[in-house]
Chains A and B, each alone.
Chain A
């Protein structure tokens, strides 16, 4: 199949590549670029494991062709930590608040939470639950994911994190 040239900025680096027009963005990221942190859980855009940040929006990279991302700026889980290795507040929050178990949904969940906090730096619990409802988790029951995002929001906002009473 003839290939098409695409160019995009991924995790701050310019990437140029040849892709088949039908190559999904998630396969491009995982197989051509080796960015395997983005996962595939359902192939039908229900589970959100493949969520990445594209031009300041959360997108499910299994539901987009790589050619549709031509010219885009993309952030994946591999680009979340600082260049010196310091973890992003969300990465720290998920560990501190036990927001993950098998880790398979985690990259997509963190990428979705990242955009959620950009759009709404002080979300209520209901806003968090609704904001991550496009991302499925089979292990945690979400309760600690909510806390992880609250922890990160507090850290980003420079206020002490206080666990809500249950």
Chain B
């Protein structure tokens, strides 16, 4: 019998567990148009809501006349701040400890701000009716430049808090100031800068951009007045938090609020927050007693529901002549728009931006962040970058290039000299983080070998000489980036959302026949959780992944969790999944011992079964144990085979990577062509290499878009420029470079399966890599730091400024 029994390896392969390039479960419905997204939800009697929005960036509202809109046949209601005020819902709390207007109250603070919510029989009538809402404004002076926001004579933006000189994060210096946040040792850092042999100082501007998932933000709210229960379907990256917030705001008990996040068409941070559309749809459904749907259009999405970055970072490094970095000093001015609705853990007003010492052993550092209000849209979400990590890594990775040039060193040599060494882990950074694991030098060397770095520099040297001789009009740039991410928010001692610790959860139930349903507190928006969580369970429990159903997003059935953003699903809910599975395996071992009539200590785990030590023919498979768990248990053991785990991670995880970009820039057109892009990622244990590669491709494409063209800009009157796909750069298949991916594996020592998370690494590493390539192309002409985005017009302008068109 043993001759034909499958080998251990064959049994393991059948499970499609950890490390398997398992095809995605989700694709079966998505490729057939059978996904279920929010706008697909259609309920009997459902109405449709739409917003009348401000045409001004800063104005007093003198009057709002909704009578013509209300008179339009098919219009059921028009809500304004006056209607919400008695319910105390005209403002809502933000994640950052501020409040944000749901509907503009007396004043508008940014263009396209929500003023009135029209509810009509269909979306066409609603669109007609918003045109009939008449608003009379008294224009006020506009502030769009964060550097001017705190001028002594700057216009007062937030009348509601102008006299409140203590904000959610301490004292405010000015009526347009939000917070001052400092980390590190200021005195020691200043001392080093006073005496350092070499110092650099640059202002790196990380422009305002937007996550722009292909599906916009939307919801359907349905109040059942008979049962007193509210159901909300929505594009929610964090459905459980939304339910808590809705319960607090509405006064409806949390168990009577049902929040469902169905399939989500991309999130990238855009769908973390609570927006006025959700609140208004809920209020309208409560008032009218029928379901109300709200679906924002693309212009509304780009100009109102969140933005990302808008960080202005004065970055300094101090070093020896030999290139040993001694200190880092950074001041960041953070433009958070009209309300501070930044999506960070509540205690951390600038997220994890204090990862800005990057991958380097920098003995002392000091970081200061000032947040200010301007007449721009509210938000400040992590656009695929954990939480303000990409800003911090952009600062250090640009600064290191500037320092290398000043020292006359190759920037790779400078990095090699300062990278944290393998033996230094766990490494405590000067700004307070404890990096869990890394093997940076090995990763960088592997990348250097893969791209043939010395040959690239030799080619660049030859081409620069040819350029000087007038033989070519192209500049070759080599972009380098070595980044460290910080993901998996997070340990509840640092991280909470409105007081709820940032744990996550998994609940696993094994059925009598050995199939499984498991539910988590996270919510996939394309990350393929249905595929990959099943792989973790498959390996832990020896049940084939195909026999495991993963469910998320329904707050009635899934255990409470903090959702999916900041690459936290694998580090936190993935850990919970493994831990819950291990509880089940421990119980299974007791049952197996009972069935085999041996002590449980005489058993060992073998892929999909418990085997009696030394007697491999005596075993019970997990499937057999599952059946026994429902009818043949050891005396005193409760029936069933299920477990739940709430996982509060002991630390964050720290993925890292080495990226290289080779680019040619035509100085006469400004067109930059990426010849090659190589990305080596180390995300610890790799659950599904196919999906990891896909995430890296997608993240790099977003990084390319951000570095090379994306911007949400405003004119001096606060008009938002480029809030459509005509103007906002989303690369097509034609512009998008081809990606080469590679990896090393340095498991996280504290994560149950050693996994670290990967989704955001390519954005964090990719943006500085592209920007470094552009800057490197012009570096030999002493161009100074060139700000993003590096679109053709701007690069042409750089060439013009340098006199290259003469």
Binds B, one of A2-10, A33-41, A66-74, A153-161: A33-41
Interchain CB contact (< 8 A) of A36 among B40, B738, B739: B40
Whether A122 is near chain B, meaning CB under 8 Å from some CB there, is no
Whether A139 is near chain B, meaning CB under 8 Å from some CB there, is yes
Whether B527 is near chain A, meaning CB under 8 Å from some CB there, is yes
Q: Is the interface of B mostly helix, strand, loop or mixed?
A: loop
Nearest Cβ in chain A — how far from B772, in angstroms?
20
How many B residues touch A, CB cutoff 8 Å? Answer: 56
Chain A residues 50 to 99 lying within 8 A of chain B, measured CB to CB, are 76-78, 80-81, 87, 90-92, 94-96, 98
A94–B37 contact, CB under 8 A? no
Closest to B35 in A: A103
Nearest Cβ in chain B — how far from A47, in angstroms?
6
Whether A13 is near chain B, meaning CB under 8 Å from some CB there, is no
Whether B34 is near chain A, meaning CB under 8 Å from some CB there, is yes
| Cα distance A116–B299 in the bound complex, in angstroms | 30
Whether B190 is near chain A, meaning CB under 8 Å from some CB there, is no
Whether B347 is near chain A, meaning CB under 8 Å from some CB there, is no
**Residues of the B chain whose Cβ atoms lie less than 8 Å from the Cβ of A145:** 733
Whether B214 is near chain A, meaning CB under 8 Å from some CB there, is yes
| Cα distance A143–B730 in the bound complex, in angstroms | 15
Interchain CB contact (< 8 A) of B697 among A35, A105, A129, A144: A144
**Residues of the A chain whose Cβ atoms lie less than 8 Å from the Cβ of B730:** 46-47, 136, 138
A139–B725 contact, CB under 8 A? no
Q: Determine the interface band of chain A, counting residues with CB < 8 A from chain B.
A: 35 or more
Binds A, one of B263-271, B495-503, B662-670: B263-271
Whether B298 is near chain A, meaning CB under 8 Å from some CB there, is yes
Interchain CB contact (< 8 A) of A141 among B214, B725, B739: B739
A78–B37 contact, CB under 8 A? no
Interchain CB contact (< 8 A) of B298 among A42, A96, A142: A42
Whether A25 is near chain B, meaning CB under 8 Å from some CB there, is no
Whether A140 is near chain B, meaning CB under 8 Å from some CB there, is yes
Closest to B526 in A: A102
**Residues of the B chain whose Cβ atoms lie less than 8 Å from the Cβ of A135:** 732-733
| Cα distance A141–B32 in the bound complex, in angstroms | 21
Given contacts A42-B724, A87-B31, A138-B268, contact A101 B527 (CB under 8 A): yes
Whether B426 is near chain A, meaning CB under 8 Å from some CB there, is no
Chain A residues 114 to 152 lying within 8 A of chain B, measured CB to CB, are 128-130, 132-146
**Residues of the B chain whose Cβ atoms lie less than 8 Å from the Cβ of A103:** 26-27, 29-31, 35, 263, 265, 526
| Cα distance A143–B23 in the bound complex, in angstroms | 17
Whether A44 is near chain B, meaning CB under 8 Å from some CB there, is yes
Interchain CB contact (< 8 A) of A91 among B32, B39, B264, B299: B32
Nearest Cβ in chain A — how far from B643, in angstroms?
30
| Cα distance A138–B297 in the bound complex, in angstroms | 17
B734–A129 contact, CB under 8 A? yes
| Cα distance A37–B528 in the bound complex, in angstroms | 19
Whether B9 is near chain A, meaning CB under 8 Å from some CB there, is no
**Residues of the B chain whose Cβ atoms lie less than 8 Å from the Cβ of A14:** none
**Residues of the A chain whose Cβ atoms lie less than 8 Å from the Cβ of B701:** 140-142
9 tightest A-B contacts by CB? Answer: A37-B33, A102-B526, A104-B265, A103-B30, A77-B33, A141-B697, A141-B701, A46-B725, A101-B526
Other than the given A44-B298, A142-B732, 16 more pairs (CB < 8 A) read A27-B123, A41-B216, A43-B298, A46-B730, A91-B31, A98-B693, A101-B527, A102-B265, A104-B213, A104-B266, A129-B733, A130-B733, A130-B734, A133-B732, A142-B736, A143-B739
8 pairs, A vs B, C-beta closer than 8 Å: A44-B725, A49-B214, A80-B32, A94-B31, A101-B527, A103-B35, A141-B736, A142-B697
